[in-house]
Amino acid sequence: MRGTGALIGLALRQALRSRGLAAACAAVYAGILGLAFAVAAEGPKEANLKFYVTAAWLLLAGFSVGLIAYLPLRFFGAERAGRQALLLGTRPVPRAAFIAARFCAGALITGAVLAAGCAVIGAGAGVCARRLGIETEALTGCAVRPAPPKPVSAGRARELAEALGRDAAFLERHGADGVAAMARESLAVWRLTEGQSATIVWPDAGPREGGVRVRVKARVFPPLELAEVEFRAGTEIVRRELQNGVACEFRLPGAAIGPDGALGLTVTLPADRKLLVYFPPEDGLALYLPEIGFGANLARAGLLFFAFTAAVGGFTVLSGATLSRAVSALAAAVIVFAALSANMLSEAAAQFTGTRGHSHGEAVPEPLPPALRAVWQKAVAGMLAVIPTTRGIDPGVELVEGRTIGFGAAAAVAAHGTLLRGGGALVLAWLLFRRRELGKRG
């Protein structure tokens, strides 16, 4: 594309000459490293290490999104106010080249900031781990194997149907398999009361010389009680106090895995505790099998988030190219708010419209009139469908919980977010931008 390289170079020089950008990057990186030294050495060590990674990632992610929203506005503002556009105006500049240059420059700078930030987080994680006296294996990327589903007999399915408030017609329509599937989604997966035990077997766990991690997120009734549960695998015995909805982890050595590669884990609730403990599917009881190191997983997290920031950059280029400087700054602020608070917005939509899912037959509240509720739902759904959001793709959660971030996730975000949403915004910017903007003075 004619002149695009020169325009990208000009935009990069404009941004890199800014002392404010350098100072902001230095402050963020210093803050990330400072967190590694500020983490308390007391308390659960692995939890403190994960707290550092969480806080450091949030700081870097927020700064990166703010940067990709700021840079295009600065580029267009400089062209209008600083009269650099007069030099470009001496020869025709295609609109597509002008728009693409601003987008590419912003994406390059943000990518460099993200890459350097990930390196700083990795160095800080090493410092934090040495201070706490633990290995960074607690953050290793792992393949997650949930507990295998517990078989449910036909007779048990009828009991569960009654417990779930379903009538005989439902059982006849959906059959035992349908009721069992519903049971696995509610309270009836590896359910224990006082003195009961259950054995869960993962058939393909090993061999693993370095051992494995087990992650538990149980539901306990009454909810405010603590349940001291015993986990036994081979000769290894681990006791943990389980709190309702709070995840905990423990390690099992490689010797706990049998010679056939299977890991059998027996969970026992003491006979003197009148409690109900159950493990929901997926995240209730899961085996974490190490795949890649923390550094490699962190690099994949940076790649995933870069695809997301590139999509946000397309929308800020659109606002900067078509609006005044003040209005485009406000539009970019709205975009950043929607991108970073997608979960909060969707939760608010569900809360205030009465559309939150209920699995136990409770009446769904309707706090808003039907017409207003429909408008609210469509407005929030439309905004979340158009503007790129972090909902469901936040790699910080995967990093802290130790799940491997696959390249497929980055490719999906790049295709759906950057190409469809960000690319659509760039096309609109190209259509709406006018050549006379080049010669405009501030």
Distance CA(250)–CA(267), nearest Å, equals 13
Contact 388, 306 (CB under 8 A): no
Banded model confidence at residue 361, pLDDT cuts 50, 70, 90: very low
Tell me the average pLDDT across 256-281. 86
Q: For residue 155, how many C-alpha atoms fall within 13 Å in the half-sphere facing its CB?
A: 0
User: Which pLDDT does position 188 carry in this prediction?
Assistant: 46
Q: Which residue has the higher pLDDT, 229 or 174?
A: 229
Residue % of the chain over a pLDDT of 90: 15
Q: Looking at the DSSP assignment, which residues form a beta bridge with residue 200?
A: 265
Among 319, 338, 348, smallest CA distance to 386 is for: 338
- pTM score, two decimals? 0.74
* Percentage helix, strand, coil for the chain under 3-state DSSP, each rounded to 5: 60, 15, 30
Q: Is 307 left (phi over 0), alpha (psi -120 to 50) or beta?
A: alpha
User: Which pLDDT does position 116 carry in this prediction?
Assistant: 95
- Indicate the DSSP class of residue 228: E
Contact 131, 41 (CB under 8 A): yes
Instruction: Count Cβ neighbours within 10 Å for each residue of 417-432 and write b for 16 or more, e otherwise.
Output: bbeebbbebbebbbee
pLDDT tens digits, 42-84: 777 888 898 999 999 989 988 988 888 777 777 665 555 544 4
Q: Is 124 a residue whose pLDDT tops 90? A: yes
User: Which pLDDT does position 358 carry in this prediction?
Assistant: 39
- Indicate the DSSP class of residue 359: S
Tell me the average pLDDT across 8-25. 78
**CATH architecture group of domain 191-292:** Sandwich (2.60)
- Best-predicted range by mean pLDDT (143-157, 210-224, 387-401): 210-224
Q: Which stretches does DSSP call E strand in 217-321?
A: 219-221, 226-233, 236-243, 248-252, 263-268, 276-278, 285-292
| Residue ranges of domains in the chain | 4-136+294-356+366-439, 191-292
Banded model confidence at residue 209, pLDDT cuts 50, 70, 90: confident
pLDDT tens digits, 130-142: 888 887 777 889 9
How many residues are given for the chain? 442
Distance CA(7)–CA(15), nearest Å, equals 12
